[in-house]
Amino acid sequence: MKHFSGRAGLAIGSLVLVCGCHSGKSTEDRASADEAKARPGMVWIPGGEFIMGTDDPESYETERPAHTVQVSGFWMDETEVTNAQFKAFTDATKYVTVAERKPDWEELKKQVPPGVSKPPDSLLVAGSLTFKKPSEPVVEYDYSLWWKWQPGADWRHPEGKGSDLEGRWNHPVVHVAYEDAMAYCRWAHKRLPTEAEWEFASRGGKQQERYSWGTEVTPNGKFMANTYQGSFPVTNTKEDGFESTSPVKSFPPNPYGLYDIIGNVWEWTNDWYDVNYYKTLASAKVTVNPRGPAKCYDPQEPYAQKRVSRGGSFLCASTYCVNYRPSARQGTAFDSGSSNIGFRCVADAAAQ
C-alpha cells in the first residue's frame, strides 16, 4: 500500500511517519565566560572535525557512506524545548501552531500525486498524528495501524481533546511542525541546528561509536535514553520507566552536557532531506559547515517536502526503527507534527 507523509497524507487516509572526534579549539571556537552567563540553559559545543554518518552494515542506507566534516563551534540547548518554554513563547506572541489550524487543501495537494481527490471537509480539521497502540500483533510495514490522525491533538492536548499538560510541563513539547520550531527559534533569537551540527553534538566527542554514550545500548544494564522496550508496537515493557515522553534530564547527559540528544522525541534540523546527499559529499576530503542539499529528494515520496529529523524517540525499539544512534536520520514532512517529534535550538558564538 502506498503511503504519503505529512498532513496531506493524513487527509487522504494514509501516511508515512515520522517513524566525533574533537580536533581542538581555535580562538573563534572558544566560548567566553560572559557569553555563557548570557546563555542560560545552553552548552558550548566546540568546533572540530569528525566522521559524519557511518559505514556500519547494521545501519540504514541513508546513513552511508561515512564522510569527513568540520563544524565551527556553537551553542546548543542542553535539553529539548519543553512545554513550559513553548508556553512562554505562545503567551508572548499568541502564535498558533500548524496542528491548531484547519488544513488548507490548496497547500496539501502540492504534496500528493496529481489527480488525488479532495477529501471530505469532515477530514480537514485541525489535529495531528498520535501513536495508538494496537490491541494485537500487526504487520510492521503498515504505519496506519498505529499512527492515527487525531482531531484536536496539538501541543497543548497531546492525546487530543480532553488531554492536557498537567504534570508534563517539563516534558519536551510535541506536535510541532518545522514551521512552529522555526517560529520559536526566531522569538528566542536562536536557530535550528544543521544536520552536521546536530550529529557532531550528539556524538559528544565519541568518534564513530554506535551510540552517543559508547558501544553498548545499556552499559552495565543502565538505560541511557528513553526508547521502546518490548515487541513494537503492541507491548512496551517500560523497563526504562516510561511509556511515552519523559521529563527532560531523566537520563544522563552526553559528554558535552546535552540531555536526551538521543531518544525521548525526534528533533528537527534545518536541512532538507535528500536520500543521496551523503553520496555527494563522500568524494570531498573535508566538507566545512555543510548546510544540507538545496532541495528535498525522496523517490519513495516524490511530492513530499521533508526536513531531516534526528535522534529517534520513545518509540524506537531494538526490533523496529533502531534510530537511537547519532548517525540515524529520517525525512519528516515539513508540515507535520506528531506525538514524538520536538526540537532544540542552537546559537552562533558572539562576534569577538
Q: Parse the chain into domains and list their residue ranges.
A: 6-348
Helix (H) or strand (E) holding 105: helix 105-108
Dump pLDDT digits (tens) for 87-129: 999 999 999 999 999 999 988 888 888 889 898 888 899 999 9
Q: Contact 29/72 with Cβ under 8 angstroms? A: yes
pLDDT of res. 7:
64
pLDDT of res. 9:
57
Give me 253's grid cell. Answer: 547527559
* 12 closest CA partner among 161, 104, 133, 118: 118
Q: How many other C-beta atoms are found inside a 10 Å radius of the C-beta of residue 146?
A: 18
Q: How is residue 309 annotated by DSSP?
A: E
The order of strands in the sheet holding 74-77 is 42-45, 74-77, 346-348
Residue corresponding to grid cell 532538507: 272
Measured CA to CA, the distance from residue 127 to residue 261 in angstroms comes to 27
Residue corresponding to grid cell 480532553: 162
pLDDT of res. 5:
58
Domain 6-348 sits in CATH at: 3.90.1580.10
Name, in order, each residue with C-beta under 8 angstroms of 151's C-beta and a sequence gap of 6 or more.
125, 126, 127, 160, 161
Measured CA to CA, the distance from residue 284 to residue 216 in angstroms comes to 31
pLDDT of res. 8:
56
Helix (H) or strand (E) holding 196: helix 195-203
Give me 151's grid cell. Answer: 482531531
How far from 98 is each of 40, 175, 281, 302, CA to CA, in Å?
28, 9, 34, 22
Positions of the chain with pLDDT under 70: 1-30, 351-352
pLDDT of res. 29:
53
Q: How is residue 118 annotated by DSSP?
A: P
Angle between helices 83-93 and 178-188 (to 10 degrees): 80
Residue type, 207: Q
Measured CA to CA, the distance from residue 248 to residue 234 in angstroms comes to 25
Give me 191's grid cell. Answer: 536557530
Measured CA to CA, the distance from residue 133 to residue 149 in angstroms comes to 13
Residue type, 13: G
Dump pLDDT digits (tens) for 188-206: 999 999 999 999 999 998 8
Pairing of the two strands 287-288 and 67-71: parallel
pLDDT of res. 209:
85
pLDDT of res. 184:
98
Measured CA to CA, the distance from residue 272 to residue 330 in angstroms comes to 10
Please, how many CA atoms are within 13 Å of residue 13, restricted to the half-sphere of its CB?
8
Helix (H) or strand (E) holding 88: helix 83-93
